[in-house]
Structure formats: C-alpha cells, structure tokens
Chain A
Amino acid sequence: MTQYGFYFDATRCTGCKTCEAACRDYHDLPLDLTYRHVYELEGGTWTQAADGTWTTDSYTFYTSFACSHCDDPACTQVCPTGAMHKGDDGLVSVDTHRCIGCGYCELACPYGNPHVDRDKGHSVKCDGCASRVAAGEQPVCVEACSMRALEFGPVEKLNQGDGRAAVAPLPDPSVTTPNFYIKNCAAAQPSGSTSCVVANEAEVK
C-alpha cells in the first residue's frame, strides 16, 4: 500500500497563509471551516533595564498543517458507520453516503481536521486533494506555497526533515502516528510545551 503524506519545512514558512487561502478557494469552503490551519505560537517575555531600554527573549513560530493522514487515525476509530476510512493510497476520506454527521471524528481528531458540515449533513475534510493527485498534480496548498515550504507524496519518497511532527500545538506523534513530517525552525517548541501559547486564536477557530 502506498501511504501519502505531507512535509512542512518550517524554516521556510513566513506564516503568510496562502496555503490556507488556496485550500479555501479550491474547495469552496465556508468561512467558519478550513482544512488547513496555520497556527501562530508565541512565548517569552520583555525586560526593561534601568536605563529604559528593552530586551526580549520572545519568539514567534508558525505551524501549517492539514490532515495528517495518520497510520492510526483517531477519526476512523471512532466513526460508528465506517464512513471515515483510509484508502489504498493511505489518504483518509469520508464516504459521504455512509456518514451520518454524528461529529465523533471532529471531536476525536487531535489535528482539528474533520468537520461536520451541517448544510451538507456529513463530515468534510482534507483528502489530500485526491482528485488532483490522481491527475498527477500536487494538492493545491502545496502548489500555492511561494516559499516551497510544503511537499506531498508517498512517504518513502518524501522529505522527512526532523521526523513525524512533534511540535506545538500538535500532539505527540505517538498518539496517531501522523504522516506529517516537519523540518523544525529554531523557534519551534515541542508538542505539549507550556512555554508558548496560540497567538492567533481568532484566525484558526
């Protein structure tokens, strides 16, 4: 079985969100729903010296992610109908005829990916732009990135950087074994870090 996955070179990302914008455009997503998230995290403090000057050890970093098409997906495990499933290409997708829109997948996924589209009555999610990939193209987010920070492909051919993503705000990769690989940037904090906070809550919720 082929297993497709994403690679994110965080050292190249500028947090511009073109990946998210392209995804929203291509998939015609409603405003309150996105398949790709760009989380901005920050930490650190500011200090004023006696002479009034400022120094800071603060930092900011972005993590861009969509569905991690996990080896051990939380969403498929909790799906009561089997609608959420892993295909031969390893991509996780929804059989919309079988989905009853119960929302368990949405609750279970630690990557915030499946969402129940109430208008459609079923779950929707990143399918790795399966139809584009089938036509020999890249997912729209990958092709959109000006900085070439995103890649997609069979994991054995994919850049693997520092390994499966283990950075904030994502869970430890041992939870679902995500097919999402990251090259970490210098400012990145590990999964579970309490020294940084999500700084752009309104943008990603």
Chain B
Amino acid sequence: MLDTSMTLNRRTFVKATGALGALAAAGGVASSALFSGGAEPAFADGEEHIVWSHCHVNCGGACVLQCHVKDGELAYVESDNTGDASFGGVQARACLRGRSIRPWLGSADRLNYPMKRAQGTKRGDGQYERISWDEALDTIASEFTRIKEQYGNEAIFIQECSGVEQNIMMNNPFFRLFNLLGGEVTRYGSYSSASISFGAYPYVYGKSWGNRSFKTLQDDQLVVMFGFAPNDMRMAGDGPGYDLNVAREKKRVRIINIDPRRTETCTNLGAEWIPIVPGTDAALVAGLTHELIESNLVDLEFLHTYVTGFDEDTMPEDAKGANASYYDYVMGTGYDKVEKTPAWASSITRIPEERIKRLAHEIGEAKPCFICQGLGMQRHANGDNASRAVMALALMVGQVGKPGTTSGGTIGNGGIGLDSLPTGTNPVKTKIPQYLWPEAIRDGAKLTREHDGVQNADALKVGIKMLVNYGNNMMANQNGDINFTTDILRDESLCEFIVQYDVAWTDSCNWADIVLPDLTPQETYSLTAAGETNDVAGIRFGQPLYEPKFERREVYEVCGELARRLGVYDEYSAGGMTREDWCRKLYDELREDAGDDYDLPTYDEGVAMGAFTYDIEPSAKVDPFIEDPVANPLKTATGKAQIFSPEIAEMAKTWKLDESEKNAITPIPVYVPGPDSAEDVTDEYPFQILDYHCKGTTHSTYAHNPVLNKITPFQAWINPIDAERMGIADLDRVRLTSAQGSMITQARVTNRVIPGVIVHPQGAWHRAPAEGDRTDEGSCTNTLTSRQRNPISKGTGQHSVIGTIEKVEG
C-alpha cells in the first residue's frame, strides 16, 4: 500500500505535525504489563513461551503477533491484548491473515536450501538443484562483478520487497551493499499507488497534502469513498476499517461507497453502495460537477481563493482565453464541447441520473464532507486523471484542509517514524517507473524521459542485466501480464542473471538462476513501527520464535557474506554490527529524537513488553495553506491547489504517447476511457474483468495458506444476470480469458458485483506451464492483466481488462 515517498515519510520521525505532543497527552507512559519470556528467544525446553513478533506484509498495517511457542514450534497466535479492549479503544489486533501464520511458517512451500537452475534447462522449466550457500554467494558475487564491469552499475536493479515491507530491514541490505560498489538503477512509484503519488498529488497539491484519518470524522457527517475498501483489506484493530466502524457507530457518520463491488463497508455496517462501471470515476465527477454548478453548490469563494483552474477567473494568465478550465470542460464550452450533464455521466457510469443528481446535492450540502479514494481506481487506464478528478471534487465543495475532511485523495496522518537500515548514497541517479522494469530489461536504452518517464537522465544507458528479487513475487505473479513478462525473462540474452530470495517457492522462483531461502520476520529479529498512517503510534519488538530451520538465512547477514566476497564488509556492517544491533541502534535513535516529548521504553524494556500502541488525537487544526494561502503556498506551479495543472499542460506538449495507448495527457482531469474500457467490450470479450485486494491475502503473501484458501477462496464474482446468460452456476469451474492469457478458477454467482463486470481477488499463486497455451491453474489474475501504463505517472493501469468467462468441466 505504501509507495516510496509515503514509506520515507512514515519512517522519518514526525515532529512537525504535533503528533508527539498529542501522543503524550493521549498516551503517556508506555505502561503495558510485562509479559514473561519475551526477552530471550524461546527454544525447545518443553515449556510454552510467549514470543512477540508482528505481521509485515504490506497491507498497510503491522499487527502484533503474540506467539505461543513450544518445543521450537509455533503452537498458536494471540494478538494484541494490551491497552484498551473496548469498542473505540486501540489494540493492534491482527486480522485473519496474521492469525493464520502457523500453516504458513510450516508450509511445504517454504524454501529450505539455496538452489540453482539446473544446467541445460531454461528459465521457466522449473528444474533446480540444491547447492551450498558458498556456491550461491560466490556465484552472486562474481555475476555482480561481471555485469558491473561489462555493462556498468545501471544494469543492476533491485525489485521492491512487498512481502517484508513492515520492518527496518526490508531489502535495504542489498541497496546498502550495492551502493558501496557503484550503485544500481532505482525505481520510483509502486504497483500500489504510482498514479496517485506521481500522477495526481504533485500536480494538485505539489505533494501529498491534507490527508486525515477517519478519526477526524465529526458527528453526523457524510463520508464519500471512491473505490476504497478499508473493511476488506485494512482490517487491523488499529486500522482505518476499525476507525470507520467506530465513527459509524459513535458519531453516526453516514457512508457512501462508490465501487463496482459491494465491499464489506456495505454489508453489515450498512453503508450505502452505489455500483459503478469500473474506470469511469472521472466521468462521474464531471457529472456531479455539472449538477453542483447548476445548483449553485460549488464553493466559488473557496475556489477563487485557493484553487487554480476551476473557471476562467482562476486560470493561469498564459492559459486564459482558451476555454481550458474545468468549468469549460463540464459545461461544454471547451475541450470536446460536450456538456457533462448527469445524464451524460449516467450513460457512462450506469448510475441512474437521479442518483447522480442526489449525490451532488448530498456532497454539496454536507459540511464537513469527507471525500476520499482508494488505490484501485488509479490502477485503471488513465488512473492519473481519475485520481485527480476525485481530488477536484473535494476542492469544488471546499472540503479539504480542515477537520472532518481529507484531500479527496487517500486517508492518512500521523504515526511514529522509525528509520530503516541506512542504505548510503547511490552514485547512480537514473530512475525508472516501477511498473516498467520488464520493458527496461527488453528495451534498455530505448526507454526515455519523454516516452517512459525515465528520471534524472534523458534515457537509460543500458537495459537491466541483473535482477535481484528479495521478498517479492513480481516476476510471475504480481506484475501485469505474466506471459509478456516471462517471455522477456526466458530470454537469457536480455537479463543475464536473476536472484530470487524469498520464504516460499512461488512461480517467480521458476524464473530465477539462483534461489535463496529466507527467514520470515517472525524467525529473526524484527523491529517495526505500527503500520497504518492513521493516527496511531506504536512499535513492535519482534524476536525470533525459534532457531533457524534448515539452511534458511536472513538478508542482512547474507548481504554481509556477499560484502566479504566483494571486499566491503567493514563498511557494510559498520564494523561488525548484527541485525539485532541495528534494531537496537535505530530504536535508540528514535528514542533520543523523542527526547522529553514523551516517554518511550528502552529497547530492552520494549523487548520485554513486546509491543506498544498508542492512540493519537487527530489534529483539530486547519491547514496553514487554508488559514493563509499567500503566506503558506502549496508547492505547485501556481502555489494553489490545482484543478488545472500548468505542469501537465507543459508535459502535454513535450511528452510522447503511443497511439495504441489510447491515453491522453490533459491539464484538467478529463475523463479518458483508455484501452480495454467498458466501451471496448465485444462479443468475444463481453466483460470488464477487475481484480481487487481481498480479505484472505495481502498481494500474493499468504495466498497459498490452506486455511485462508478454505475460508476466503479465490473466486470470480459474477452477477446472477450474467451468470444465467453465460450458463454458469455457483461454484462452477470456469475459465477467464483476456487477450493476454487464460486462467482457471471457481465461479461465485452473487449480487455483490455490477452486471457486465467480473471481479476476482488478486494474489493467488500462478501455476502454468512455461510453454503451450500457458493456462494458469492457480487463479492468478495477472495472467489476464495488461501492460497498460498511465500517461503521466507511468504507473500501472493493469486493472483495465476486458475478457470473457466460460464454464469448463473438471
């Protein structure tokens, strides 16, 4: 859930927000009871010990896992039972995923030994031989040196590490090591949030701005969520789903959820669901705006004070006289000259015209109104614009920058910041958009700034020749269009050396040259801040549950072994520091920074406590920009919030898009359907197919857990009307097919999805032959998704898919 910038923010100590002061007021001294056995690793002595650890898998949270360990095995998991157990109190209670780690830790899928691809086989053939750690490390060190000397450091790339996102170590040891040896090409953006972070916030607010948590909600107010499902994917006891539930009951907030799928906020909790055709949110906003204008519900005083580009009066001087404002777009006096009436929006979104009008009045009349978006919407084609459109909606009704509102973007706000392992300085400044790493392997120097979003260079010098995947399942699971991606990986002349280092044998391992077995964060020392940036502060002091099993080894030590081979061990290890030493050091630095502001336990006290979690009072302050926009301008081109972005207007002149992209770079958030939209369905591909984040897994982590598979199965939701038409019954075995590929799964006939759309959870483990028709038997939706990239951010638009469903026997 966290992109690079958010991650850095979260791990940078928060002083300016007043979070610490509020924390002191709200929380006081760390006073949780001491629990037995936390300080020393509990190994096989026949007794049951409690060892504290945490979940770490990038759902947005980092829940407390209080592990009961006996005879060197995890017996069962409790979670956070410290603090306030009442409804409204904060405990970092783990969800079903964290409660189900026992079958995961002991899974037959676990990697136990270093492996290398068998001689004479190709990537994807799946033939591997056990090797020694020495052989594995010697090979990696020598290949690193060879590739660095032959192609330069720009040919080396370290993938993101979503599976171990919540702890101080992450994949930083690889960066720390390689940065001592000339560096590597790096990425910006993430699969999760590239479009909002790099295609929306910078052009609307200059940077992420104005985000508040659900704790800011006021009595009896309205919440409008676009494609946001906090009760499906961020279920922790200190998470936003809980906050929203508490506000629903205690503050009687009314919630409207606009989504193609009935999320869990709209089941028992009783929020209203407005079903929408996927990818059409920007059209809905335009239709809402038309009604707001017609009904005098736009906040003109706010717009004329704080916002650029709503109407002609607020356009930048050099853009005036061209009918280029958002008003002109909506009222049909500019751009395509089509009036964006509620009826127009209705024909695209399939939301009744009357409901759009009523929604406009509800939004326009509610004070305050909390308008927010999830991250699914911006992963559609032209998701940059969809994301900006929802921010524009919040601006048009003046509902930003004060309690009871957020930015029209995501939710957010204070937490405790903890630095992660320092990575040093990377001499290579060139960056690529995260989503385009396969293209960077295939096309190398053809990737440019203006076509592909390369940063800090006009173009790449060289393609990626060495790929390090640590703690992720990107190669053959989580990246859009698996068949496209693995075609590139199979060609060893392109990327010459691939390391996969993980806890389990996913299909991504089958595309690596060397596979290394990791410990999970529960099996080693692990320190993390509470995950959610929603006004909680906490630290988890993870200790190893048991001694390492088989030949699994953790990443910091392994990179140290590589550092020895490459002659930089002393610098790498800062004179021999261990992983546990770093936990202690980084925590001590945090504690020192906190000073007298509040009373953090010492590291040893923390280890004995296991974890602490504090509530933070949400800020009651109005944002400085709102208080005085002249004295406190935003970091945009105009210093104001921007519905019209001069930066994007400039890009539109110079950046190059392929015709086939069907994208557009527009300075206001125009609705651009893009490829594989609802307008593109055919007799062959009559459905939009949409993947989503489900309850049972976080991305692909835990996705092969039999307990979770049993109670939250991977199923294709299809509306009864469509099911009848396609001859499909509940629980039928079905094939989903798009232009990109084909996968087998199970049908779930349900009213919970809008007709014309099939939704399926993402993250299931890909299981397909490397050749032939490559049908995936593992229900992995990225068999179907595309390489669609968004025009500004170059982030993924892979949610835009059209395809079909058919019943299959068996």
Q: Which residues of A contact B (CB under 8 A)?
A: 10-18, 20-22, 24-26, 28, 31, 38, 40, 42-46, 48-49, 51-56, 58-62, 140, 143-148, 185-187, 199, 201-203
B695:A16 contact, CB within 8 angstroms: yes
Interchain residue pairs A-B with the least CB separation, the first 9? A58-B751, A21-B96, A146-B237, A185-B268, A148-B87, A14-B231, A14-B264, A21-B99, A18-B96
Interchain CB contact (< 8 A) of A199 among B76, B265, B347, B750: B750
Q: Are B695 and A52 in contact (CB under 8 A)?
A: no
A-B contact pairs, 25 of them (CB 8 A): A12-B87, A13-B268, A14-B245, A16-B95, A16-B231, A17-B695, A17-B712, A25-B77, A26-B76, A28-B76, A38-B711, A44-B751, A45-B751, A46-B719, A54-B350, A54-B755, A55-B352, A60-B267, A61-B267, A146-B93, A146-B235, A146-B237, A147-B87, A187-B268, A203-B710
B267 and A18 contacting across the interface, CB-CB below 8 Å: no
Q: Does B652 contact A (CB under 8 A)?
A: no
Docked-complex contact B235 and A14, CB < 8 angstroms: yes
Counting chain A CB atoms within 10 Å of each CB, which of B93, B730, B748 scores highest? B93
B241: A residues at CB distance < 8 A: 14, 146
Q: A20-B96, A49-B352 are in contact. Are A42 and B750 (CB under 8 A)?
A: yes
Other CB < 8 Å A-B pairs besides A24-B100, A58-B752, A201-B730, 15 of them? A15-B695, A18-B94, A21-B708, A25-B102, A31-B710, A38-B711, A40-B267, A51-B352, A55-B352, A143-B93, A146-B95, A186-B270, A187-B270, A202-B713, A203-B710
Which of B99, B347, B707, B719 counts the most chain A CB atoms within 10 A?
B99
| Cβ 8 A contact of B270, one of A25, A58, A185 | A185
**Inter-chain contact B267/A14, CB cutoff 8 Å:** yes
Interface residues of B in 532-590 (CB under 8 A from A): none
Query: Quick check: B99 and A25 within 8 Å, CB to CB?
Result: yes
Q: How far is the CA of A17 from the CA of B802 in the complex (A)?
A: 31
Complex partner residue of B81 from A18, A40, A53, A143, CB under 8 angstroms: A143
A residues less than 8 Å from B754 (CB atoms):
54
Separation of A56 and B264 alpha carbons in the complex (Å): 17
A46 touching B351 by the CB < 8 A rule? Answer: no
> Which A residues are CB-close (under 8 A) to B239?
146
Tell me if A140 and B78 are in contact (CB < 8 A): yes
Known contacts A12-B245, A186-B270: does B79 contact A144 (CB below 8 Å)? yes
Verify A17–B352 contact, CB threshold 8 A.
no
Q: Is B346 an interface residue (CB 8 A)?
A: yes
Q: Are B751 and A60 in contact (CB under 8 A)?
A: yes
Counting chain B CB atoms within 10 Å of each CB, the highest count among A28, A42, A148 belongs to A148
A181 to chain B, nearest CB (A): 16
Q: Are B347 and A51 in touch, CB under 8 angstroms? A: yes
Tell whether, in the assembled complex, residue B99 and residue A144 are in contact, meaning their CB atoms are under 8 Å apart: yes
Asked whether B242 lies within 8 Å of A51 as measured between CB atoms, the reply is no
B85 is an interface residue with CB less than 8 A from chain A = yes
Whether B249 sits at the interface, judged by CB under 8 Å, is yes
> Given the complex of chains A and B, what is the CA–CA distance between A105 and B85 in angstroms?
35
Quick one: which of A20, A38, A143, A147 has the most chain B CB within 10 A? A147
Q: Are B76 and A25 in contact (CB under 8 A)?
A: yes
Contact bitstring B429-457, A, C-beta under 8 A = 1, else 0: 00000000000000000000000000000
- B28 at the A interface (CB under 8 A): no
A to B contact number (C-beta, < 8 Å): 159
| Residue contact B96 to A148, C-beta cutoff 8 Å | no
B752 touches A11 (CB 8 A): no
Complex contact A48–B755 (CB within 8 A): yes
B731 at the binding interface (Cβ < 8 Å): yes
Residue of B nearest to A58 (CB): B751
Find chain A residues with CB under 8 A from B713 CB: 202-203
Interface centre among B352, B355, B695, B711, by most chain A C-beta atoms within 10 angstroms, is B711
CA A10 to CA B270, docked complex, whole Å? 10
Question: Which residues from chain B contact A17 at a C-beta distance below 8 Å?
Answer: 96, 695, 711-712
B94 touches A202 (CB 8 A): no
Question: In angstroms, how far is the closest chain B Cβ from the Cβ of A31?
Answer: 5
Question: Could you tell me if B731 and A143 are in contact, using CB atoms closer than 8 angstroms?
Answer: no
Minimum CB–CB distance from A198 to chain B (whole Å) comes to: 10
Residues on B with C-beta less than 8 A from A18 are 93-96, 99, 235
Decide yes or no whether B48 CB sits under 8 A from chain A: no
CB pair A56–B751 under 8 Å, yes or no, is yes
Minimum distance in angstroms from A170 CB to a CB of chain B? 15
Interface string of B35-63 (1 = CB under 8 A from A): 00000000000000000000000000000
Chain A residues within 8 Å of B338, by CB: none
B706 CB-CB contact with A under 8 Å: yes
Bound CA span A66–B93, Å = 21
A102 to B264, CA, bound (A): 40
> Which residues of chain B in 745-770 are interfacial with respect to chain A, using CB atoms and an 8 Å cutoff?
746, 748, 750-752, 754-755
Evaluate contact between A46 and B720: CB separation under 8 angstroms: yes
| B235 (CB) vs chain A CBs: closest residue | A16
Given contacts A46-B721, A51-B346, A201-B730, contact A12 B100 (CB under 8 A): no
B-chain residues with CB within 8 Å of residue A56 when the two chains form the complex: 275, 751
A18-B95, A46-B720 given as contacts; is B751 within 8 A of A203 (CB)? no
Q: Is B86 an interface residue (CB 8 A)?
A: yes
Complex Cα gap A54–B711 (Å): 31
Residues from chain B with a CB closer than 8 A to the CB of A24 are: 100, 707
Task: Report the bound CA distance from A44 to B751 in whole Å.
Answer: 8
Chain B residue numbers with a CB within 8 Å of A38 are 711
Chain A residues whose CB sits within 8 angstroms of the CB of B268 once the complex forms? 10-15, 61-62, 185, 187
Beyond A14-B267, A140-B78, A187-B267, is A203–B712 a contact (Cβ under 8 Å)? yes
**Is B307 part of the binding interface, using a Cβ–Cβ cutoff of 8 Å?**
no
Nearest CB in chain B: distance from A132 CB, A: 10
A142 to B78, CA, bound (A): 11
Interface centre among A51, A60, A145 (most CB of B within 10 A): A60
Across the interface, which residues of A come within 8 angstroms of B100, CB to CB?
A: 21, 24-25
Task: Note all chain A residues with C-beta closer than 8 A to B232.
Answer: 14
Whether A148 and B267, one on each chain, are in contact in the complex, defined by CB atoms closer than 8 angstroms, is no
* Chain B residues numbered 56-100 whose CB sits less than 8 Å from any CB in chain A: 76-79, 81, 85-87, 93-96, 99-100
Option from B99, B350, B710, B748 in Cβ contact (under 8 Å) with A52: B350
B777 within 8 A of A: no
Known: A17-B695, A21-B711. A60 touches B752 (CB 8 A): yes
Contacts of B26 in A (CB 8 A): none
| B262 in contact (CB, < 8 A) | yes
CA distance A38 to B695 in the complex (A): 14
Cβ distance A138 to chain B, nearest Cβ, rounded Å: 9
